[in-house]
Amino acid sequence: MLLNLTILPGDGIGPEVTGQAVLVLQAVAGALGHQLKLQYKNIGGAALAAVEDPLPADTIQACLSSAAVLMGAVGNPAYDHYPNHLRPEAGLLRLRRELGAYANLRPAICFPALEDSSPLRADLVRGTDIMIVRELLGGLYFGEPRSIAGTPGSRIATNTMTYDEPAIERIARVAFDLAMKRRRKVLSVDKANVLECSRLWREVVIRCAKDYPDVKLSHMYVDSAAMSLVQRPKDFDVVLTENMFGDILSDQAGGVVGSLGLLASASIGGAVGLYEPVHGSAPDIAGKGIANPLGAILTVALLLRHSFQLEREAACIENAVGTVLDGGARTADLARSGQNSITTGEMGRKVVEAVESSPAKQKSA
């Protein structure tokens, strides 16, 4: 198969982790007989530096004309004082909208080898396998009006949370469909005791659930869900939630399974899928070669699975990551005190080696 992709390395650790993810992608493609056509484009701070636009037109065009997009990270403190539409993050938000990527899947899995990397007790995290389904094009991120107005000292800031029924329904269906292939549980997270958006959310989710009689639906307020996520993470299967709550809970889930650096995500539902690790640009460690590339590498697995239905190739990457972790490889974020840590490039190389010696490859040879 020809895999035609746009790669957006972005800012901070984005280029480092994306570089390793592409090496793993090349290894899988080589092993299982696929051709790659990759084009690299700017986004975020990198694009602002080049052309003063966090999402240049040629980046959008490249993304729309490829079969999937792999992104690293956006964000650079140098642009903190810029107006909202000229921040690196604005490039990513616009791209999600341009691509119509309304469904953000964020799996959080506790790898057996990493039970002791979690700040929680091993017996609590063992077996954790959560799929967060985050609505990605609504809520506070995109609601109008939004502004900071008035004169210094008496300024007023406004953001708007809005959801319409079709937007809730389409994301709910993604969650229920996924649940049917998993443990058939959906937890819908809202704040229906306070917010109108959440009351409508709950009503629409309950209505959709009627089409999925085999799925057990439950509801929680976001504050209580945040607590339960650290108390009993393995009870969670599919978590369905709106944009901002999903942003927060997915970082928390990263902490629970050992490191945010492990989490991959798929932003799908539109014309072209956008694949991005959950972590940010981490400017504090950028350029040091110590970032964890596994989130970006596992993101390639999601890309192969969701944009190309290449399940064997996706599983090959996921198994390779498990093998490497079983072998004791740890980047700094995963190493406990006394454990050796390896660099971004060493971790990437180990995954490439595991892919090249995997049974999936031998089967096809």
Q: Which residues bind ligand IPM (CB under 6 A)?
A: 74-75, 89, 92-93, 247, 278, 280
Phi, psi of 269 (to 5 degrees): 110, -20
- Examine residue 276 and tell whether it contacts Mg ion (CB under 5 A): no
Minimum CB separation of residue 251 from Mg ion in Å reads 6
- Examine residue 313 and tell whether it contacts Mg ion (CB under 5 A): no
Catalytic residue chosen out of the listed positions 223, 235, 288, 363 = 223
> Is 234 a residue of the active site?
no
> Is 214 a residue of the active site?
no
**H or E segment to which residue 288 belongs:** none
> In the numeric block, which tokens belong to residue 182?
């998993």
> Is 223 a residue of the active site?
yes
Half-sphere exposure at residue 265, Cβ-oriented, CA atoms within 13 angstroms:
31
**H or E segment to which residue 71 belongs:** strand 68-73
| Binding letters toward Mg ion, positions 211-250, x by CB under 5 A | ------------------------------------x---
Minimum CB separation of residue 1 from Mg ion in Å reads 32
Q: Answer with the entry of ligand IPM, Mg ion, none that 89 interacts with (C-beta below 5 to 8 A by kind).
A: ligand IPM
Minimum CB separation of residue 10 from ligand IPM in Å reads 10
For the chain, what percentages of helix, strand and coil (3-state, to nearest 5) are there?
50, 15, 35
Q: Residue 327 burial by CB count (10 A; 0-12/13-18/19+): exposed, middle or buried?
A: exposed
- Examine residue 190 and tell whether it contacts Mg ion (CB under 5 A): no
> Is 102 a residue of the active site?
no
- Among 256, 233, 236, 353, residue whose Cα is nearest residue 297: 353
Query: Which residue minimizes CB distance to ligand IPM?
Result: 89
- Examine residue 89 and tell whether it contacts Mg ion (CB under 5 A): no
Nearer to ligand IPM, 27 or 101 (CB): 101
Minimum CB separation of residue 337 from ligand IPM in Å reads 29
Catalytic residue chosen out of the listed positions 190, 237, 247, 333 = 247
Phi, psi of 334 (to 5 degrees): -100, -20
Angle at 219 between CA 213 and CA 223, to 5 degrees: 160
Nearer to ligand IPM, 13 or 93 (CB): 93
Distances (CA, A) of 211 to 177, 208, 218: 10, 6, 15
For the chain, where are the alpha helices, taking DSSP H only?
14-32, 45-51, 57-64, 88-99, 122-125, 165-180, 196-209, 222-231, 243-256, 294-308, 311-326, 344-356, 359-364
| Separation between Cα atoms, residue 202 and residue 196, nearest integer Å | 10
Task: Output the CA torsion sign for 258, 303, 94, 74.
Answer: positive
> Is 116 a residue of the active site?
no
Nearer to ligand IPM, 74 or 175 (CB): 74
Catalytic residue chosen out of the listed positions 185, 221, 234, 251 = 251
Minimum CB separation of residue 75 from ligand IPM in Å reads 6
Minimum CB separation of residue 90 from Mg ion in Å reads 15
Q: Answer with the entry of ligand IPM, Mg ion, none that 325 interacts with (C-beta below 5 to 8 A by kind).
A: none
Number of residues that bind Mg ion (CB under 5 A): 1
| Separation between Cα atoms, residue 348 and residue 239, nearest integer Å | 30
The residues assigned a catalytic role are: 141, 191, 223, 247, 251
Residues that bind Mg ion (CB under 5 A): 247
